[in-house]
């Protein structure tokens, strides 16, 4: 039995659509007795809504950059939350850059410009949420502001790195509790399923996937991934379907 952990955006989902070849390969991979799951910064709601039209049933979910992990039955394997006072402090530190949090599986957004199509609820302030902690915290920039996202990621890790992990995903920044990452999520899933290292595979396309690619022996990325991402992968492929085809060579 082999296990493949896949990033979601720009790996499995492209412009809110999945490729038929990828979906068919995943289903056959599972039918052959293997395990397939997602490893993403998204929440469960974001994954479930996008996956329903394709009738994909994941064997595990590494969500919120490793801070929330579920099994096939959607039972919690691991969960760690971010203190709300830290969210507010970092949000202030960012000069109120557009941001979102996930609380009780719902996304809440604070922004000066309500121009994006989010699956969430707009707030005037995060202080409106009467809670001590949230499941996830993210910053959002425009597509042409990737350099700004990089700078803020570096600033957060430098000032708050002892309390939180900031991972850049193109124009977005996903924050997770200290010690949580996609890589740590893979380790938790490995122990949960009791699978040998040589039978674990991972694929992703962006810098926030590096902790995942670095922790597995069999790592994959794409021809369209940036050079710094390709350097962390053992194999470079055109698509997720090609990745699965390559894995199946080693039965």
CATH of the domain at 59: 3.40.50.1000
How many domains does the structure of the chain reveal?
2
d(CA 183, CA 103): 23
Last residue of a domain, one of 177, 199, 228: 177
pLDDT tens digits for range 63-114: 999 999 999 999 999 999 999 999 999 999 999 999 999 998 888 999 877 6
Same domain? 94 vs 149: yes
Bridge partners, residue 60, by sequence:
37, 71
State residue 157's pLDDT score: 95
Q: Residue 84: which H helix or E strand, with range?
A: helix 84-93
Same domain? 212 vs 136: no
Same domain? 86 vs 145: yes
d(CA 55, CA 111): 34
Same domain? 73 vs 193: yes
State residue 231's pLDDT score: 96
Expressed as residue numbers, the domain containing 222 is 3-79+181-250
Say if residue 117's pLDDT is above 60: no
Same domain? 59 vs 97: no
State residue 112's pLDDT score: 76
- At residue 119 the predicted structure's pLDDT band, cuts being 50, 70 and 90, is low
pLDDT tens digits for range 150-187: 999 999 999 999 999 999 988 999 999 999 999 999 99
pLDDT tens digits for range 185-227: 999 999 999 999 999 999 999 988 999 999 999 999 999 999 9
With a pLDDT cut of 70, the percent of the chain lying above it is 96
> Sign of the CA dihedral 128, 132, 134, 139?
positive
CATH (domain of 121): 3.30.1240.10
Same domain? 102 vs 158: yes
d(CA 93, CA 83): 16
Same domain? 8 vs 69: yes
């Amino acid at each position: 039995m082999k296990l493949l952990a896949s990033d979601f955006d720009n790996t499995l989902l492209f412009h809110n659509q999945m490729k038929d070849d990828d979906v068919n390969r995943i289903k056959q991979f599972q039918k052959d007795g293997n395990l397939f799951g997602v490893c993403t910064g998204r929440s469960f709601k974001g994954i479930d809504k996008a996956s329903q039209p394709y009738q994909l049933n994941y064997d595990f979910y590494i969500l919120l950059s490793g801070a929330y992990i579920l099994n096939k039955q959607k039972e919690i394997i691991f969960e760690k939350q971010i203190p709300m006072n830290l969210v507010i402090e970092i949000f202030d530190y960012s000069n109120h850059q557009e941001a979102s949090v996930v609380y009780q599986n719902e996304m809440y957004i604070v922004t000066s410009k309500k121009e994006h199509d989010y699956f969430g609820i707009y707030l005037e302030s995060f202080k409106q949420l009467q809670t001590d902690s949230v499941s996830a915290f993210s910053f959002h920039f425009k597509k042409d502001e990737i350099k700004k996202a990089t700078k803020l990621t570096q600033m957060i890790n430098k000032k708050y790195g002892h309390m939180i992990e900031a991972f850049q995903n193109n124009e977005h920044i996903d924050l997770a509790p200290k010690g949580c990452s996609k890589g740590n999520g893979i380790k938790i899933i490995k122990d949960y399923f009791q699978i040998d290292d040589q039978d674990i595979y991972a694929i992703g396309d962006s810098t926030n996937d590096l902790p995942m690619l670095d922790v597995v022996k069999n790592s994959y990325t794409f021809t369209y991934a940036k050079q710094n991402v390709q350097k962390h992968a053992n194999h470079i492929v055109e698509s997720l379907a090609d990745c699965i085809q390559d894995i199946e060579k080693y039965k």
